[in-house]
Structure 1
Amino acid sequence: MERLNSKLYVENCYIMRENERLRKKAELLKQENQQLLFQLKQKLSKTKKNPSGSNNDKNLCPSSSASGQS
């Protein structure tokens, strides 16, 4: 019984570490997503302010992203 408890304890520690790692990664992704959304909103507001057509959809994405590369 004690051996089983030890095994479960070790598994639990591993799961807690993995959860913490994933929590940190999720937080970084959330921050990146918020930054990208902010940049997109800025670009969209610039296009609305300049409706002459000089700003088109190609300006919304950097050239590397538009070509499918990141």
Structure 2
Amino acid sequence: MERLNFKLYLQNCYIMQENERLRKKAQLLNQENQAPISQLKQTLSQSRPSAHPKPFPAVMLDLNS
């Protein structure tokens, strides 16, 4: 039983490390996407007629929350 618990403990540690690595990677990718998304929003707002502006849909998820 102790051997099984230790094996599960090691698997849990590995999963937590992998989760942290993937979380950091997702956060980095999200940061990299911020500039193109801002440029796209700016381009769309400039090309839209100002008489009836439509709200820009939220296309970005906040991964920091």
Same fold (TM over 0.5): yes
Q: RMSD of the alignment, in Å?
A: 1.8
In our comparison, the structure showing a higher alpha carbon Rg is 1
Q: Which has the bigger relative contact order, CA under 8 A and spacing at least 6?
A: 2
Look up the match of 2:24: 24
Partners of 2:19 and 2:36 lie apart in 1 by 25
Name the TM-score, length of structure 1 as normaliser: 0.58
Could you tell me the percent identity over the aligned residues? 71
Task: State the Cα distance separating 1:8 from its structure 2 match.
Answer: 0.3
Give unmatched runs, 5+ long, in structure 2: 49-65
1:46 Cα deviation from its structure 2 partner: 5.3
Structure 1 gaps of 5+ residues are 49-70
Alignment size in residue pairs? 49
TM-score by length of 2: 0.61
